[in-house]
């Protein structure tokens, strides 16, 4: 890897990290990301003078820049763990730390939170965020099994006035599968893996959703306490046992004294992990003696007294019984291998996506071949390689027709510039594409039309009521007929028409996502809604103007531009403009409502702030609201893109980082002057 490749790898890792931690929508499998991070670390070890300050190796993963929850600064930083991938590194860690005892614990695949109690009562719960600032999810945490709302006073000696405990929130295996099955049946996108499922469910504002989610938690560390100790304060293991007596469910932990026993314990956990009712993705080794932990200290990202061993994905051989094709919303056709059932990571695997024709060629795979299969990130089945060919053939996607409309498939980019690789169905009237476009439009994160699910859409298409998206807003014409349909009735029809009417007034961040531009979600929709007064205004922007907006890179900018300028044969105007005019005529809102206020100036528009320290008169959340109300953006960590660091007393490490990067540091008074 040279310097140019290193910079590209840093950017890729940043993008993958943001997708995983901030958007709960990973773009890279865990093993692939782990490999990328190892390459970055190797290069940085050889070239310490070239380390990028914003490299993901230099900070805790994640931020809270997009969060709608109140921001809170951690009393004790919530650092991540250094990952290792072979037994030699475990041995080296134990030799280097040279402690008397170690705890080997299951590494739960979930979301880290910190919970604080005052006089035995839960008063605050915080997500990790960037390790220094997280989200306040106190109300949600009250519905998580394993996090007591009130501690068991019977076992607390001398009434601890404050206790902070770190936990891992997770979704049990069975519950994860139930939720994903329900989402798939409703035509919605399932969660990619249990960690992102836990994050998505925990960070919802709807307490009823949290209550029904079935989230659980294991406590794995005492962060701090104020008062007389209620356990052997020199032992981490004793602390876990004490937590159980006061109401916590604690992570399973084994006390060992040397590297051989630690490695055997790690192997033992690996042997039984597939049988657990929850997912683990590794084993953690910690120094047990808290005095030694304190002596060893922390780096800016990791504690030096703990390390995480990541298990390699389980692999098994099976037979490819068939390869089928699936047509998606944009016309992209995805080949899927149907497998002889095999058990991996405790669940039955019968299919694995082959992604596109290029992957099939690379694997050299065909029906009847014996293949090696694994679950990437312990969840997503994938074919690693062909073990034994059944013939000399390779499955050719283009020998087959679209499974939905029967038309010929094409290769490369379509006319709008989408689907740049792979295969796609060019027929805009393909039933599968039409069905999925309607499902996507009505989905919860788009226009959120309750009651317009896959079954209803399929029925309305068959009746000829739905042919194009604007037809959704003409369904009221069929109200009387709808009441007579099986499974409907007067009340159901009324509720659906009311839900469609409600969707007319959604803000345009939802509409922008619903338009279905590849890779353009609500996070980009919000950026555009702040910049543009109407959806139509987006089409007037050039690629370079779009790419300059915070959060929109050159790829997204090109997709947006092409989507707004593509013309189908025979159309005098771009397809997008025609659609928007139809929607506007039907009363659908095309104006940015909550993101812009034409009467109010936006003096901080385009400016990014980070807040640190104690401000003279404003609380952090008050300062953040003030900035956002005036058009600015608040981020949780300092980077080269940070415009200003708003610093109060005890500013800490963020002040030093801002100064090293040349970020302008301002006071509360200077912020207020910027608003005048």
Catalytic positions are 107
Reported as type and span, the H/E element at residue 654 is helix 653-661
* Contact indicator for 239, 222 with CB cutoff of 8 Å: yes
* Contact indicator for 182, 128 with CB cutoff of 8 Å: no
Across 33-60, b (16+ Cβ under 10 Å) vs e yields beebbeebeebbeeeeeebbebbbbbbb
Name the token pair of 160.
Answer: 């601890």
CA distance 176 to 182: 10
Query: Going edge to edge, which strands form the sheet with 306-310?
Result: 83-84, 306-310, 280-287, 102-108, 253-256
Reported as type and span, the H/E element at residue 221 is strand 216-226
Of 403, 404, 343, nearest to 374 (Cα)? 343
DSSP string covering 305-350: TEEEEEPPPPEEEEEEEEEEEEE-TTSEEEEEEEEEEEEETTEEEE
Name the token pair of 267.
Answer: 């192997």
* Contact indicator for 272, 69 with CB cutoff of 8 Å: no
CA distance 559 to 541: 12
SS3 479: helix
CA distances from 667 to 410, 629, 637, 659 (A): 58, 18, 17, 14
Backbone phi and psi for residue 110, each to the nearest 5 degrees, phi listed first: -155, -150
Classify residue 106 by its DSSP letter.
Answer: E
* Contact indicator for 298, 304 with CB cutoff of 8 Å: yes
Label each residue of 109-154 as H, E or C.
CCEEEEEEEECCEEEEEEECCCCCEEEECHHHHCCCECCCCECCHH
Pseudo-torsion of CA 438, 442, 446, 447, nearest 10°?
120
CA distances from 458 to 466, 489, 496 (A): 9, 18, 15
SS3 227: coil
- Cα 399–chain centre separation: 37
Name the token pair of 567.
Answer: 């013309």
Backbone phi and psi for residue 129, each to the nearest 5 degrees, phi listed first: 60, -125
Backbone phi and psi for residue 376, each to the nearest 5 degrees, phi listed first: -65, 135
Of 66, 13, 3, nearest to 35 (Cα)? 13
647 CB-near residues (< 8 Å, 6+ apart) = 612, 613, 654, 655, 658, 665, 666, 667
Residue that the structure tokens 């989402």 belong to = 183
Nearest-Å Rg of the Cα atoms of the chain is 27
CA 19, 20, 24, 25 torsion-angle sign: positive
SS3 528: helix
């Amino acid at each position: 890897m040279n310097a140019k490749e290193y910079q590209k790898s840093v950017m890729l890792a940043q993008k993958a990290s943001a997708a995983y931690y901030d958007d709960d929508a990973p773009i890279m499998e865990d093993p692939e990301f782990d490999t990328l991070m190892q390459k970055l670390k190797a290069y940085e070890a050889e070239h310490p003078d070239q380390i990028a300050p914003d490299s993901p190796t230099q900070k805790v993963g994640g931020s809270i820049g997009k969060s709608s929850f109140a921001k809170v600064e951690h009393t004790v930083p919530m650092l991540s763990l250094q990952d290792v991938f072979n037994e030699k590194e475990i041995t080296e860690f134990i030799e280097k730390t040279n402690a008397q005892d170690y705890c080997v614990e299951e590494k739960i695949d979930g979301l880290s939170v910190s919970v604080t109690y005052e006089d035995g009562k839960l008063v605050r719960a915080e997500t990790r965020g960037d390790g220094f600032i997280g989200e306040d999810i106190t109300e949600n945490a009250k519905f998580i099994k394993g996090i007591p709302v009130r501690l068991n006073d019977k076992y607390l000696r001398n009434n601890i006035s404050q206790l902070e405990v770190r936990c891992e929130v997770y979704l049990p295996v069975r519950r994860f599968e139930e939720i994903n099955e329900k989402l798939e049946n409703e035509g919605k996108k399932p969660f990619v893996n249990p960690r992102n499922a836990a994050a998505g469910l925990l960070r919802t504002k709807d307490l009823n959703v949290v209550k029904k989610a079935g989230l659980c938690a294991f406590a794995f560390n005492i962060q701090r306490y104020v008062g007389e100790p209620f356990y052997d304060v020199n032992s981490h293991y004793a602390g876990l046992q004490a937590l159980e007596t006061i109401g916590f469910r604690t992570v399973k932990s084994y006390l060992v004294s040397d590297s051989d026993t630690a490695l055997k314990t790690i192997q033992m956990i690996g042997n039984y992990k597939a049988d657990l009712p929850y997912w683990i993705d590794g084993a953690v080794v910690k120094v047990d003696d808290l005095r030694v932990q304190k002596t060893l200290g922390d780096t800016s990202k990791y504690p030096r007294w703990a390390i995480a061993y990541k298990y390699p994905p389980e692999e098994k051989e099976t037979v490819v019984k068939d390869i089928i094709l699936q047509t998606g919303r944009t016309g992209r056709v995805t080949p899927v291998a149907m497998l002889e059932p095999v058990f991996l990571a405790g669940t039955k695997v019968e299919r694995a996506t082959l992604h596109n024709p290029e992957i099939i060629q690379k694997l050299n795979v065909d029906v009847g071949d014996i293949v090696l299969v694994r679950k990437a990130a312990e969840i997503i089945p994938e074919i690693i390689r062909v073990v034994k060919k059944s013939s000399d053939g390779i499955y050719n996607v283009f020998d087959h027709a679209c499974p939905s409309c029967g038309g010929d498939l094409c290769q490369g980019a379509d006319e709008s510039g989408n689907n740049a690789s792979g295969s796609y169905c060019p027929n805009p009237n393909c039933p599968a594409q039409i069905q999925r476009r309607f499902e996507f439009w009505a989905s919860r994160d788009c226009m959120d039309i309750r009651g317009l699910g896959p079954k209803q859409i399929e029925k309305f298409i068959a009746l000829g009521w739905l042919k194009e998206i604007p037809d959704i807003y003409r369904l009221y014409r069929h109200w009387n007929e709808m009441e007579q349909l099986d499974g409907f009735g007067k009340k159901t029809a009324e509720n659906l028409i009311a839900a469609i009417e409600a969707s007319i007034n959604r803000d345009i961040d939802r509409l922008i996502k619903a338009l279905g531009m590849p890779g353009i979600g609500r996070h980009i929709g919000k950026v555009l809604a702040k910049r543009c007064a109407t959806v139509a205004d987006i089409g007037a922007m050039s690629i370079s103007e779009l790419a300059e907006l915070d959060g929109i890179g050159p790829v997204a900018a090109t997709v947006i531009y092409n989507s707004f300028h593509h013309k189908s044969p025979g159309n005098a105007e771009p397809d997008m403009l025609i659609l928007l005019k139809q929607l506007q005529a039907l009363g659908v809102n095309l104006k940015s409502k909550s993101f812009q206020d034409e009467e109010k100036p936006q003096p901080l528009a385009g400016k990014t702030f980070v807040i640190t320290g104690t401000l003279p008169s404003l609380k952090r959340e008050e300062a953040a609201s003030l900035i956002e109300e005036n058009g600015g953006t608040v981020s949780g960590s300092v980077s080269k893109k940070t415009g200003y660091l708003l610093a109060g007393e005890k500013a800490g490490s963020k002040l030093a980082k801002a100064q090293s990067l040349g970020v302008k540091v301002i006071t509360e008074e200077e912020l207020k002057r910027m608003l005048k």
